[in-house]
Amino acid sequence: MTLEEMRAALRKMQEALAALKDKAFATEGTEADVDALEKHVKDILALEKKIDLAELSEKAAARAARPANDTTTGTPPAVNGGGDGASVSTRRSLLPHGLTGQDLLVRVAAATILAKGRGQKVLQVLDDEGYGQIAGLLADVRDPSGKAVNTLVSSEGGVLVPTPLTGGIMPLLRIESSFIAANPVRVTLVNGQYVLPRGLAGATASYVAEGALKPVSTPTFDAISMRAKKLAGIVPITNEAVRWTIGNIEEYVRADLQNALALTLDLNAWLGTGAGASPLGILNKVGVQTVTPTFAAPAAPTLAELDTFARLMILKLTTANILTTGRWRWVMPYRTALKLADMRVGAGTDGEAAFPEMSLGRAGGPVWKGFPVIVTAQIPTNLGAGTDETTVALVDFAHVLFGEEEGITMRMSSEATLDVTGAGSLVHLFQSNMFAILAEAMHDFGLRTVKAVVKATAIRW
């Protein structure tokens, strides 16, 4: 299999990975699904290793194909400026018995791979692995006299050689999905929707006197209704970029697209407006409970005021018959979490922490008033007239639904036509020697009962 064929096979395997992952991690996933995912990942890693080795071999072969000395005619060119007339052809005669030039090339390529992983020099790896004679030969060819300007010693010329770029590309810094981390209840959207009737108001009963009329009531109903909202992104790449760039640009784009989708999902899960094709976030659902706390100094609440605030939020849920469980989560921005972590007991600022479990570095995450805290950068802190307000919520995630039509899927095309600007600016991929990677997901967010969410707005701490 050629290098290009291996790269094409790797792309197909990567495209199939998302579907296998979703199947294995689904609620109804079986052990066979997990085994299939594990085998697929191992196959990908094995193929990537082969590709890396093939790329190194191509580079090594290209270096070996450069104009070499003719051992039969003419005078072999000197190495490193002359010396005693040493040359590559002369050094070939010094190869260890039974070792061919091809064998030497293979060992140097393998040492190059190991050196990259260990952070060592290639010659040092050869020596460590028992090929000291080869290492000495290569060092001797590069610097026959041992005293000439060379690249092996930093002070004798090594610092003049530019540092080569590594084979990878550093990813962008993106935020992981705090909504998914809170473990909502996952449901499947069938034909792009999930509709479940639910009781809204129940029947009533009361005690009556002898001969009095008994009360009559009528239960009311509504429905949980979720519709698949499509989240997608496309990145076109030229074929030259794949072949010429340092590092796997295609792998980088695939990972970056997945992260971009996860970040957009997270923002809309909390505060999606529902405008256009966007979903409605759980904190903006109609009917969620709200509180309006008061603080003598809005940006500097006292410990007593914070206790009152937390008690008010908790009682809002319990009085709505939302029983306390291990699925309750506080949701707040980093600014609020840090404020609580910095609160002190006693005079001045040297007292003990009022809420020691609010440390962001705590194993298992911060906890406030006995309930875990989801700290997210997706809750803005620049709202309100003073542009310094934020939102704090308390949510029972046993009632939060995450409906999925499909997880993040990746597809690739080299024949599609793209409208890049949305205004008719067309790019024909095949004609432009390009291909495009598409990532998309379909999902929506819902609540079994809107009473399972209580939020406080206009928080300035």
* Tens-digit pLDDT profile for residues 105-136: 777 777 777 776 666 777 777 777 777 777 77
343 close to 303: Cβ distance less than 8 angstroms = yes
From residue 80, give the alpha-carbon distance in Å to each of 37, 66, 77, 85. 53, 17, 10, 10
* Tens-digit pLDDT profile for residues 212-247: 999 999 988 888 899 999 999 999 999 888 887 766
In the chain, % of residues over pLDDT 70: 80
Q: What is the pLDDT of residue 398?
A: 95
Q: What is the mean pLDDT of residues 161-182?
A: 68
Superfamily of domain 169-201+218-461: Major capsid protein gp5 (3.30.2400.10)
Q: What is the pLDDT of residue 151?
A: 59
* DSSP-assigned states of every residue in 128-148: HTT-HHHHHHHHHHH-SSSSS
Q: What is the mean pLDDT of residues 36-47?
A: 86
pTM comes to 0.61
Among 51-55, 75-79, 427-431, name the most confident range: 427-431
Measure the CA–CA gap between 332 and 392, rounded to whole angstroms: 5
**310: Cβ contacts below 8 Å, ≥ 6 apart:** 368, 369
Q: What is the pLDDT of residue 69?
A: 41
Q: What phi, psi does 312 have (nearest 5°)?
A: -65, -40
318 close to 326: Cβ distance less than 8 angstroms = no
From residue 66, give the alpha-carbon distance in Å to each of 62, 112, 152, 311. 7, 19, 22, 77
Q: What is the mean pLDDT of residues 66-86?
A: 41
With vertex at residue 195, the alpha carbon angle to CA 190 and CA 198, rounded to the nearest 5 degrees, is: 150
> What b/e readout covers 94-107, taking b as 16+ CB neighbours within 10 angstroms?
eeeeeeeeeebeeb
Domain ranges of the chain: 3-64+76-160, 169-201+218-461
Q: What is the mean pLDDT of residues 52-71?
A: 63
Q: What is the pLDDT of residue 12?
A: 87
What confidence tier does 449 reach under pLDDT thresholds 50, 70, 90?
A: very high
Instruction: Specify the length of the chain in residues.
Output: 461
